[in-house]
Structure 1
Amino acid sequence: MDVSDYHIGEDRERSNWVRLRTLLRVRWFAIAGQSAAILVAVQLYGLQMQTGYATAVIGLAIIANLYFTSVYPENKRLSEREAFFMLIIDIFQLTLLLYVTGGLVNPFAVLILAPVTIAATVLQLRSTLVLGMVAITLISLISQFSQPIATADGIVLTLPPLIQFGFWTALVIGITFLAVYARQVTMEMHTMAEALLATQLALAREQKLTDLGGVVAAAAHELGTPLSTIKLISSELMEDLSENTDHYDDVVLIGEQADRCRDILRSMGRAGKDDLHVRHAPLETVVREAAEPHMNRGKTVMLRVGPMDDDSLAQPSIPRRPEIVHGLRNLIQNAVDFAETSVQIEVAWGEDLIKVRIMDDGAGFPASVIGRIGDPFVRRRRQTNDRPGYEGMGLGMFIAKTLLERSGATLTFANSRIKGQAGWAGQPLGGAIVSVRWPRNIEFIATPDTDEPLGENQQFS
């Protein structure tokens, strides 16, 4: 599978993740909290502040919420611009409320972190940066200019300059850190979700191809007898007819078309068969099926098959499942793409283990990404000469790794220890090595009991 088939752009809009109703609901909670805080401060603690102005600011938020509720449907999803303005309104409303209630003396100034954090999860990077800078600017302004707040005795509440500077610094750092952290986590979750979707699509595609091949093979099997009968009758008619008659050419054409139908069905049926006897196949056969599309791409693909220790140990059969075939095919494709001249595939088995090792004679995995292989959308941070022309290996490797691990396999990625060491056939190596191992005791690859009847072949549903 080509990685570009499922490429995800960095600038893809993400604001349509959030519904208007969600932000409005959060704002209603904020309005309730702001009202309760002012009520407790005035009635319980007797603090003196600009209560009228504070009430007016909260009223503006209520009016805005009622307006958006009445104009837009509840299930509306916000565009990038709409989400940006909704969050910028929240920042200005909260900043204005802090201005009339003591500025940074008010401990609720920490709530300025909330809109910035939400922006980091739903907006593009540029919008998040703008909104973060606005928040920092407004926090800086109210740290210097604000309406005082006093106790019941008339004592104006102030912070020592050092404490106020520390609080301002903490808010600025908090805005920056939480925005970066929330965005990074959200991007990774989004990337993983998209990669898993691509994996499911790849698996579904492979399954459909396998099923289609089975249908065609079953059709070829069922049509074999009537086509053979047509061929036999046409041959007998050819013997009875003179070559100079008009009917002779028609009979020849019938025989040729019967042969053509047989060849077409045979060619289309190579992908698989709806036959219980071939749902499991020898390990070597499954690996060869995975490698077949890459055998004639200008690189030598060599297959070495044999037991690990005990030569008397028979080769195991494993399921011809799309997860295994497609996963191995992606790994072999990657090896062929970056090999200089040859790729070696070692297939081995023991009493407790089945192993497939894929090696190429290229430059190996770049040191900058070898520890992150298997994560979706791994890309090189800078150009090096480790693997020339290497743009990225994230999604293709992620799909292969996910599919094979789904079958119970364990994958390891490495480079040859010594550049130029000799392989099993004397070819110089030094490139990438991918090892795939299955424990033989897992149910997914268990060999069926050949002594038991498999039953009738089933039609595809």
Structure 2
Amino acid sequence: MNNASKDQEIIAAAIAINAPFVGRLRSRTLVSSRWFALIGQFITVLVVHFGFNFELPLLACLLTIAANITLNIIITVGLPPQRLVRQWEAAAQLTFDVLQLALLLYLTGGIANPFCLLLIAPATIAASTLQPRWTLSIVGVTILSVGVLALYSYPLPWNPPGGFMLPALYQFAMAFAIIIGLLFTASYAWRVSLEESQLADALIATQEVLAREQRLAALGGLAAAAAHELGTPLATIQVTAKEMLRSLPPKSLDLEDAELILSQAQRCREILRNLTNQKEISESVTETLPFGQLLEEVAERHPDLGHKAVLFDIQGPEGKGELMVIRKPAILYGLGNMLENAIQYANQAVTVSAKWDERSVRVTISDDGPGFDEVVLDRLGEPYVTTSLQGPINTNSREGMGLGFFIAKTLLERSGAQVSFWNNTGASRGAVVQTVWPFSAIAAKS
């Protein structure tokens, strides 16, 4: 299994862990919000009835408020406050809030009551925290409640009683405005919540990939240290076995055992020699290395090039010697991901150009393929944005680069770089990815 397949599995597992099997609302959040609303309802009813001396069905209003208070007490006593409520539980509570508020508005003027705008609140909460099916059910109940309030309700509390009546056309216009506001607010909250959720999933995947790179580097260091430490005792065993072979008579029973010890010691030394000579392990414990060697390591992570070539063009200021840089897993993975995509969609060659001066270090990866799709070029690098050319999927199509590009871009930016994408113009077509670091962000301290 190659590195790309492993990264795909890591990403899928990370997103699956963050999948919304349960709600995103804690029990105490809904309870505290409901207490705040109930206190406001209670104070408003008392002020309207006793402060302004408006006639309203006080007992029915208080019983409606008491029903919601009872629900809140039951939830407070029966459920732990830190518990994440399930999707259907949150939907049921928010639906009850809509119906309770609608009944209170029915008793106090219906659609003519200025507080009818509060019907938008439960649906907005649902849109930002629940799955679409539950949100649509709450929106449907709210729209139905607004329609009923536009047709039937007690008169608005006023002096004299019944002295304030809105025209029927205006009431229907109010209902229509509330419904439009409800749909707009809920859709806006849903869109913002969806983007936030996708960004959270992608960041989790980014952290998992970076953690994997760091674990691999640590494993390489452990392997190199083990090879170094085990070399001396194995050499001692080998020397001792040779001395035993010299001293034992030809037909001794211990001769076969001594030969076995010697062969196994030689085998262990060969394994350790191969382990030490592996470039990936020996370099993984290097904190600083030449800039050109860093780019070569990035290219060596993708040995399956087919008939395509990777060309390097590394330039620095004259008389400055070789640039020593800090070896960071984030840089290796980020540049490796960009290079992998360039190799995948190139026709014949990929060019890696590197330039630096006293202020910045610049790496430009360009290919001779079809380039990025212009439709999504401005959004490339955002999570779950894929680029795909029109027509059948073939070697000239770019797809599946949404999350991968986002991870690579995020890791490079965390290392201090700025990443930009564009297409070459004119005869030399192809995609270009440029990464620019401030000199101090990547250069090793001398």
- The Cα shift of 1:447 comes to 2.4
Distance 1:298 1:97, change over 3 A: same
Partner residue of 2:312?
304
Distance 1:381 1:18, change over 3 A: farther
1:243 and 1:304 mapped to 2: Cα distance?
61
Letter in 2 for 1:431: G
1:323 aligns with 2:330: yes
Letter in 2 for 1:38: V
Partner residue of 1:30?
37
Counterparts of 1:371-382 in structure 2, within 5 Å, are 371-379=378-386
2:263 and 2:298 mapped to 1: Cα distance?
34
Counterparts of 1:234-249 in structure 2, within 5 Å, are 234=241
Work out whether residues 98 and 106 of structure 1, in 8 Å CA contact, stay in contact via their aligned partners in 2.
yes
Taking structure 1 as the reference length, the TM-score comes to: 0.85
1:445 aligns with 2:445: no
Letter in 2 for 1:445: I
2:366 and 2:284 mapped to 1: Cα distance?
33
Counterparts of 1:412-423 in structure 2, within 5 Å, are 412-419=420-427, 421=428
Work out whether residues 377 and 422 of structure 2, in 8 Å CA contact, stay in contact via their aligned partners in 1.
yes
Residue deviations 1:27-82, cap 9 Å, x none? 11111111111111111222222222212211211122222223323233211111
Distance 1:353 1:21, change over 3 A: closer
Partner residue of 1:6?
11
Residue deviations 1:365-412, cap 9 Å, x none? 222222112211213599556975644222211221111111111111
Letter in 1 for 2:291: L
1:286 aligns with 2:294: yes
1:225 and 1:111 mapped to 2: Cα distance?
78
Partner residue of 2:172?
165
- The Cα shift of 1:216 comes to 1.1
1:150 and 1:390 mapped to 2: Cα distance?
65
Residue deviations 1:200-258, cap 9 Å, x none? 22212111111110111122123333434444555666677788876665555444433
- The Cα shift of 1:337 comes to 2.8
- The Cα shift of 1:265 comes to 2.9
- The Cα shift of 1:157 comes to 2.1
Counterparts of 1:46-195 in structure 2, within 5 Å, are 46-195=53-202
Distance 1:246 1:397, change over 3 A: farther
- The Cα shift of 1:20 comes to 1.7
- The Cα shift of 1:188 comes to 1.7
Work out whether residues 215 and 274 of structure 1, in 8 Å CA contact, stay in contact via their aligned partners in 2.
no
Work out whether residues 98 and 109 of structure 1, in 8 Å CA contact, stay in contact via their aligned partners in 2.
yes
Partner residue of 2:303?
295
Distance 1:173 1:275, change over 3 A: closer
Distance 1:395 1:121, change over 3 A: same
Letter in 1 for 2:302: H
Distance 1:30 1:125, change over 3 A: same
2:229 to 195, 204, 222: 222
Distance 1:353 1:240, change over 3 A: farther
Q: Name the SS of the counterpart of 1:16 in structure 2.
A: coil
RMSD of aligned Cα (Å): 2.8
Partner residue of 1:455?
none
Q: Name the SS of the counterpart of 1:99 in structure 2.
A: helix
Partner residue of 2:373?
366
More displaced 10-residue stretch of structure 1: 247-256 or 212-221: 247-256
Residue deviations 1:119-177, cap 9 Å, x none? 01221112111211221121011111111124232343222344323322221111111
Work out whether residues 11 and 209 of structure 2, in 8 Å CA contact, stay in contact via their aligned partners in 1.
no
Residue deviations 1:90-139, cap 9 Å, x none? 11111111111100111100000110011012211121112112211210
Residue deviations 1:301-349, cap 9 Å, x none? 42414315x4433220111121111222222222233333433322333
Distance 1:25 1:418, change over 3 A: same
Work out whether residues 14 and 122 of structure 1, in 8 Å CA contact, stay in contact via their aligned partners in 2.
no
Work out whether residues 54 and 158 of structure 2, in 8 Å CA contact, stay in contact via their aligned partners in 1.
yes
Q: Name the SS of the counterpart of 2:190 in structure 1.
A: helix
1:334 and 1:211 mapped to 2: Cα distance?
27
1:346 and 1:337 mapped to 2: Cα distance?
18
Work out whether residues 42 and 65 of structure 2, in 8 Å CA contact, stay in contact via their aligned partners in 1.
yes
Partner residue of 2:413?
405
Work out whether residues 358 and 435 of structure 1, in 8 Å CA contact, stay in contact via their aligned partners in 2.
yes
1:293 and 1:223 mapped to 2: Cα distance?
28
Letter in 2 for 1:65: N
Distance 1:282 1:246, change over 3 A: farther
Distance 1:412 1:84, change over 3 A: same
1:17 aligns with 2:24: yes
What percentage of residue pairs aligned between the two structures are identical?
38
1:209 aligns with 2:226: no
Letter in 1 for 2:386: R
More displaced 10-residue stretch of structure 1: 210-219 or 46-55: 46-55
Work out whether residues 283 and 315 of structure 1, in 8 Å CA contact, stay in contact via their aligned partners in 2.
yes
Work out whether residues 363 and 435 of structure 2, in 8 Å CA contact, stay in contact via their aligned partners in 1.
yes
Q: Name the SS of the counterpart of 2:310 in structure 1.
A: strand
Letter in 1 for 2:384: F
More displaced 10-residue stretch of structure 1: 231-240 or 345-354: 231-240
Distance 1:366 1:94, change over 3 A: same
Q: Name the SS of the counterpart of 2:184 in structure 1.
A: helix
